[in-house]
Amino acid sequence: MEIRKTGTINVWVTDAVTVTPFGDNLNDLWLALLAGKSAIRPLQRFAVEGYHAGIASWIEDLVKIDNRSMCHFLIEHLLGQLGPMPANTLLITATTKSGIDNLERIRRCAPAAPADVLPGGLLEEVHRQLGLTGECINISAACASSTIALAQGAELIASGYTNSVLVCCMDLVTEFVFSGFSSLLALAAGPCRPFDRDRNGLSLGEGAAALLLMNGELARQESRSHLGTILGWGAANDATHITAPARDGCGLRQAVLKALDIAGRHADEIAAVCAHGTGSVYNDLMELNALNQIFGNRRLPIFSIKGSIGHTLGAAGGIEAAVGLRTLSEQMAPPTVGFSNPEIGAENKVSFQPSTFSGDCLLTTNSGFGGINAALILEKGSLQ
């Protein structure tokens, strides 16, 4: 496969839709983020006594349909927002745990569809509902899953392998996932505080996103919207620890530099950063180390949306890419909810208020267990 840079074939994002606790559309999410709202609140889905936290960002009316996973609810609300797309569109799904809520039901001898537990079940359902005829794959790369899925989709289009890729990502707040993070002592008792000196852990969240990527020439021919362009992408593993990042940020730095190289852009051309920003002690410090190595003392806005919607795991990168495109369109970085006392390196960059900026390029990053790091360079679209 011959890989051509996006300067030869522009990788347009023509559709970007989300489902979060703030509603079934990106606009409602965007307005909530700008207003500094948070959906992190006491959990009522399952008993939380005995865990290290009792809160999360969860969708109140998320329900099971028959014996199927709650993922099907997300799929229906997500795909209902998408317009028509080429039938041969290549589908990439991204999730860490897919319909793991059904594993809980199976273990408790309750009716449940076993196929939903595996990521392939999600993949087949999306493929079927959209009537797609193209290839389909699933990517599970911890909390960088959907960022890497977008990178893979962009590369497949830039290489000329396909003209259209749909990336569909989602994850749930389930007791299985919640108990795992609690056992790692990774959950904050109160809402997470990204990049704050007093942060003490993350808050889990759930949600979904779908982004349609297209060859720019084909998109123009079909009069598609141009929400933005994926200019560059990069991924790297710091190979340090099964759950902890390399504290010097070497893996994230390498991923960002690779993305800049593919985009043909210099660090000075990045106008804002949508960071991973989980609120965990070592991840936030690692990110600040990496970003400050790349951008130096520049006062560009760096923000995290996880203080608003929690950490949505495999869906985080897709939701944040959609928000990143809106950030570029509005030339406005949302506030980082929960941030008040800056960690060293966050001063004059992270803010608890919206920040205006001027520029066409945004960096969005995600990192995950196993040392995975991923980065995308997004460019402002030409059509509003």
Q: Taking a C-beta distance cutoff of 8 angstroms, is the pair 153, 109 a contact? A: no
The rounded distance, in Å, linking the Cα atoms of 110 and 345 is 50
**Residues with catalytic roles:** 143, 276, 311
182 three-state secondary structure = helix
> For the chain, how big is the Rg over CA atoms in Å?
19
Q: Which helix (H) or strand (E) holds 40?
A: strand 40-42
| Dist CA 138 CA 39 (whole Å) | 28
Tokens in use for 339? 């941030």
Which three-class secondary structure state does DSSP give residue 206? coil
Q: Report CA-CA distances (Å) from 134 to 55, 92, 128, 243.
A: 40, 10, 11, 35
Identify the three-state secondary structure at position 341: coil
DSSP tally for the chain: helices H, then strands E? 11, 14
Q: Please state, in angstroms and as integers, the Cα–Cα distance from residue 361 to each residue in 3, 260, 381, following that order.
A: 22, 11, 10
- For residue 142, give the nearest of 321, 369, 310 by alpha carbon: 369
In this structure, the chain runs to a length of 384
Give CA–CA dist 286/148, Å, rounded: 20
How many C-beta atoms surround the C-beta of residue 294 within 10 A? 18
Paired sense of beta strands 90-94 and 136-139, if any:
parallel
